[in-house]
Amino acid sequence: MAPMIYTLYGFAIFFFIFWCAMWLLHLIAIFYGKYRLHKKNQMIPPEEPYPGVSIIKPLMGDDPHLLSNLETFFTMRYPIYEILFCIEDEKDPSIEVVYNLIEKYPQVPASVFIGGSSVGVNPKINNMHKAYEASSFNLILISDSGIRMKEDTLQDMVNHMTEKTGIVHQMPFTSDRNGFAATLEKVYFGTAQSRMYLAADCVRINCHTGMSTLMRKTVLEEQGGLKTFGCYLAEDFFIAKSFMDRGWKTAISSQPALQNSGICDIYSFQARLTRWAKLRVAMLPLVIIFEPLSECMVIGACTGWAASVLFKWEPLVFYLIHILVWFLCDWVLLSIVQNSSLPFNKFDFVVGWLFRECSGPYLFILAVFDPSIRWRNRCFKLAWGGIAQEMKPRIKC
């Protein structure tokens, strides 16, 4: 009987300590986000001119917002940069959009690379390889097709590229759009995602996502170039890891990345979250244990039970107070990341937040029991450590 009691108390202590750690992450994210995000740009003195930047834009398929998203790269206030568009299929509809923009903004150096290469299983790296090899500058900005840029975003990122910094990346967020799916995306990226992202960056843990990343090409070349990471689907994580292993720092820009895909629906968004969860499980197996516990509803229930065992507190009251305070902290964090009026009211936030928090554990379970990765019309399987292998056939899986 005694061993069973000790086991129960052991689990209760573990859950309570983990719960306290999650609240510490909340506080770190809120205070670090307030300190780090949305700082006004300061110009580099004239004797230190801005370095040139090669912007690599991998494109695939049509998107209702593609034209407006790409145009923001032609209108940035930055003295010297080039845009290198990468398109795998010569019949891709994005080609016409790109050439129209090049004709409209002839003062901006831009090139188009069609066909891609075969340097690994990662379709994104295969698509970008030719452009990477042809890039003119030491600073490389890899930017996904759905990203919008403000006029001073590139300047802000370069300002964070200090002598000891090898990578500057933008924290994922979303543009203001209409509809429940857009609300759900903004709630997720402004709460659950930003909480872990900001806390990880504050304590210098690799949290890098590659949707908008500025990096030093010379450091990448020391490791064999971009093609070295073609064996991974989560190439962004392993690129950042390789930089950090060599003593380089990574930093987030003060401006979050504004995702603005024209395809915005709940199914696509949840499929994206499930795919990311599969990648995390393959790269860091301990995620299977700790990620579900980081969810509000799960850790609240576990700690409610733990509090009743350790302190004889009423578990239901504890659970409800836990959810309320977590909800309020998420509202504060989202407001900090947004830095302006939210495009939805408080009721929409409540619905979106509850939907996200209740569906999160379910999506993670799906990811664990179906480890195959579906990416556009291709399907991959992952080995431990994150190395990917493409499965056949390519269209159906």
Per the residue annotation, which of 144, 156, 236, 330 is the catalytic one? 236
Residue 387 is classified by DSSP as B
Strands 378-382 and 373-375: what pairing? antiparallel
Q: Which two tokens stand for residue 30?
A: 């809120």
Tokens coding 180: 């429940």
Please state, in angstroms and rounded to a whole number, the distance separating the CA atoms of residues 91 and 46. 45
Q: Are 88 and 116 in contact (CB under 8 A)?
A: yes
**255: Cβ contacts below 8 Å, ≥ 6 apart:** 37, 38, 150, 152, 153, 156, 157, 170
Whether residue 57 contacts residue 83, with contact meaning beta carbons closer than 8 Å, is answered with yes
Q: Are 374 and 213 in contact (CB under 8 A)?
A: no
Side chain identity at residue 276, one-letter code? W
CA distance 35 to 30: 9
Verify whether residue 156 is a known catalytic residue.
Answer: no
Which residue is listed with tokens 């895909």?
A: 261
Chain-centre distance of CA 247, in angstroms?
Answer: 23
Q: With beta carbons less than 8 A apart as the criterion, state whether 324 and 316 touch.
A: no
Q: Residue 328 burial by CB count (10 A; 0-12/13-18/19+): exposed, middle or buried?
A: exposed
Residue tagged 């504004």 (tokens): 258
Quick one: the chain helix, strand, coil %, rounded to 5?
A: 50, 15, 35
Indicate which residues carry an active-site annotation: 236
